[in-house]
A and B are shown apart, each in its own frame.
Chain A
Amino acid sequence: MTQDVEMKELPAPSNSASSSPPSTLHHLKEIASLIETGAYAREVRRIVRVVRLTLALRQKLNAQVLSAFLNFTLTPGSELHSRLSSYLPKEDEHDMDVDTATSAIQTPAKHSLPELEVYCYLLVLIFLIDQKRYNEAKACASASIARLKNVNRRTVDVLASRLYFYYSLSYELTGDLAEIRGNLLALHRIATLRHDELGQETLLNLLLRNYLHYNLYDQAEKLRSKAPRFEAHSNQQFCRYLFYLGKIRTIQLEYTDAKESLLQAARKAPVSALGFRVQCNKWAIIVRLLLGEIPERTVFMQKGMEKALRPYFELTNAVRIGDLELFRNVADKFSSTFNSDRTHNLIVRLRHNVIRTGLRNISISYSRISLADVAKKLRLDSANPVADAESIVSKAIRDGAIDATIDHENGWMVSKETGDIYSTNEPQFAFNSRIAFCLNMHNEAVRALRFPPNSHKEKESAEKRRERQQQEQELAKHIAEEDDDEF
């Protein structure tokens, strides 16, 4: 009931206000009313919509509109109002006055909903970041976080998680991310205590990002493994989580898991998040190379990524051919790119894969080759290439990378003939694993089907009700008949 009343009441002021300044302010006011309804009805869904609508407006925000909006929602002269408007540049005083006058008349009752307060913080913060005034953004963000710590309402959670994000972003842009680590940890704790799952998710990601920014993989992994996990609420946050997870796994040499999470992150990411997907792809390519796979050409030719992935394409090429010289050249040529992507150490690890591939190529093409030639072909540059080649070849044989033997006396590497693979059980195994994969996929799909809650229950109860009514009627009839009999 209350909700209906609200709905009727609120559109009125925003409609009349739309006449003077056209789009943006009007939209903002509509959003504000949406927040109010959401807050009163305790509907988180509405607040989520608010955030989405705000992001659409982001381009159009300017100081004038913002201060008008602040005047509209907050009591002019209150502490919060004066603090927030101090962040905005003063211009066009005259224009604004007219505007505030009209809106003040239209909404005499001033709202002091925490949701609206938080929303105002959010707007101003976004505006400041867009204007590249990071120091002010930092101050604003810190003030908002201090306010948030005292508010415990489910409807604020969505807005709060956005605020956390911009809070961290403003500190990252000024380069003192380490400062807020303690604060973020405290916020994460608060969110956990309040069962604010979205907040936990966001904060966990921010913390991981914070740690990874300083290459503190150890701490990141410890935090990640201890923090509670639950079903993802927001796709974006889940993607980020997967990406950070992939990075940590890569550093800790768990390539198979890393590949899985990186590829999943790249696939789940929205199409518009090009930068994120490029990053994911870069890491995924390296991980796949480290695993000894060669990514397909289509990976590098994805729309909008050709240029960014170019260094990695050439790197892949070098690994594929197994040419150490070429590999070294590529690594040198793009070393600045690799350094800024922080993948340099991973690329150093790749060297050994290059040697492997080169060796495999040699073992395929020659049935018998002297170790000196192997060293020459791999272009090993060391004092004693033959001895090097000997130990490298023997390790490769031991690890099962090539199927060969070493004739130590003559200094030869003898490759074994590769038999007909179709005469072995190999195709059967491959086929089996594919079938297992398909069956698994099917099972998971069935499990992931969602049914709207209570839909079948209600139907049942309706039937039951009808039955019950019928029984009651019959009973009543019986009683009536009995009554008749008595008289």
Chain B
Amino acid sequence: MDPKLTEVSQLFERFKAAFVRHDFDTCDSLLSQLKVLLTHFRSLPPLFEDTPNAIHELTLARDIYEHAVVLSVKIEDQDAFERDFFQLKPYYTDAGNRLPPSLQEYPILGLNLLRLLVQNRIAEFHTELELLSPTALENPCIKHAVELEQSFMEGAYNRVLTARQTVPDDTYVYFMDLLAKTVR
């Protein structure tokens, strides 16, 4: 196995351990190290070179960015969320057909929709929505965000408030709290 790849995987293991312990400061510093290391891989976007262990590297990188997105929600940093999400996106759109689908994909897309809603960027919200397939729209995480937007447009704010109890994933709570604050 490639020594660099081993190094990244080991670092990522440490990152995950810190993540489980809720030690977010360590996570943050580990994450920036990881991102620097990722730039050495030539198979990642935007180069997409066909290296022997491209699939492995891509999967690993995607995993790392997924964790980064969730981390940014946990430390409640919206700018970091946006940055990490845009770094993650090519893995879903451009490399999607080469990798096995990720379990985290829909929750994270839903989170992004929710973020756009919270920041009142409705035009971008709809642009993102157009990119999703009908099957994606059926997913509870994404449906949640879409229904929220509808209630918002109609003005059924009480539905928004009750929706907080029915979040599909506990990472959503942060944005829902923000949303509830705006509604009030």
Chain B residue contacts of A388, Cβ below 8 A: 156, 158-159
Q: Which of A34-42, A343-351, A407-415 is the contact stretch?
A: A343-351
With both chains docked as a complex, state the minimum distance between the C-beta of A190 and any C-beta of chain B, in angstroms. 22
**Is A391 on the interface with B (CB-CB < 8 A)?**
yes
Residue contact A217 to B130, C-beta cutoff 8 Å? yes
The answer on a CB contact under 8 Å between A216 and B159 is no
B126 adjacent to chain A (CB < 8 Å): yes
> Is B159 in contact with A351, judged by CB distance below 8 angstroms?
no
Inter-chain CA distance A218–B124, complex, in Å, is 8
Task: List A contacts of B150 (CB < 8 A).
Answer: 348, 351-352
Q: Does A118 contact B (CB under 8 A)?
A: no
Q: Is the CB of A391 within 8 A of B157?
A: yes
Which residue in B124, B129, B154, B159 is a CB contact (below 8 Å) of A345? Answer: B129
Is A301 part of the contact surface with B, judged by Cβ < 8 Å? no
Interface residues of A, dominant DSSP: helix
Q: Mark B129-162, 1 if CB is under 8 A from A, else 0.
A: 1110010000000000010001001111111000
Distance in Å: Cβ of A257 to nearest Cβ of chain B: 12
Asked if B131 and A215 make an inter-chain contact with CB atoms under 8 angstroms apart, the answer reads yes
* Pick from A251, A344, A391: contact of B156, CB under 8 Å: A391
Within 112-137 of A, Cβ neighbours of B (below 8 Å) are at none
Task: Report how far A390 CA is from B154 CA in the complex, Å.
Answer: 11
Does A173 sit at the interface, judged by CB under 8 A? no
- Would you give 26 A-B contacts (Cβ < 8 Å), ordered by A? A215-B130, A218-B124, A218-B127, A251-B123, A251-B126, A251-B127, A252-B127, A253-B123, A253-B126, A254-B123, A344-B134, A345-B129, A345-B130, A348-B146, A351-B150, A351-B154, A352-B150, A355-B154, A384-B158, A387-B158, A388-B156, A388-B159, A391-B155, A391-B158, A394-B155, A396-B155
Residues of A within 8 A of B130 (CB): 215, 217, 251, 345
What's the minimum C-beta distance from A405 to chain B, rounded to whole angstroms? 16
Which chain A residues (319-367) contact chain B, with CB distance < 8 Å? 339, 344-345, 348-349, 351-352, 355
List B contacts of A339 (CB < 8 A): 134
Instruction: Beyond A252-B127, A349-B153, A391-B159, list 18 extra A-B contacts (CB 8 Å).
Output: A215-B131, A216-B131, A217-B127, A218-B127, A253-B122, A253-B126, A352-B150, A352-B154, A382-B156, A382-B159, A388-B156, A388-B158, A391-B158, A392-B154, A392-B155, A394-B155, A395-B157, A398-B155
Chain A residues touching B, range: 20 to 34
Chain A residues with CB under 8 Å of B146's CB are 348
B153 touches A352 (CB 8 A): yes
- A226–B155 alpha-carbon span in the complex (Å): 37
Tell me whether B156 and A392 are in contact (CB under 8 A): yes
Q: Collect the chain A residues with CB atoms within 8 Å of residue B124's CB.
A: 218
Question: How far is A217 from B124 in the complex, measured between Cα atoms in Å?
Answer: 9
Return the chain B residue nearest A383 by Cβ: B162
In chain B, positions 89-137 with a C-beta closer than 8 Å to chain A are 122-124, 126-127, 129-131, 134
Closest-by-CB residue of B relative to A254 is B123
Residues from chain A with a CB closer than 8 A to the CB of B131 are 215-216
With both beta carbons as reference points, the residue of chain B lying nearest to A380 in the complex is identified as: B156
0/1 interface trace, chain A 56-70, chain B, CB 8 Å (1 if under): 000000000000000
How many Å from the CB of A390 to the closest CB on chain B? 8
Q: Which residues of B contact A355 (CB under 8 A)?
A: 154
Query: Given the complex, which residues of B lie within 8 Å of A349, measured CB to CB?
Result: 126, 153
- Nearest-neighbour CB distance to chain B for A331, whole angstroms, equals 13
Enumerate chain B residues within 8 angstroms of A394, measured Cβ to Cβ. 155
Q: How long is the Cα–Cα vector from A348 to B151 in the complex, in angstroms?
A: 12
A345 to B127, CA, bound (A): 11
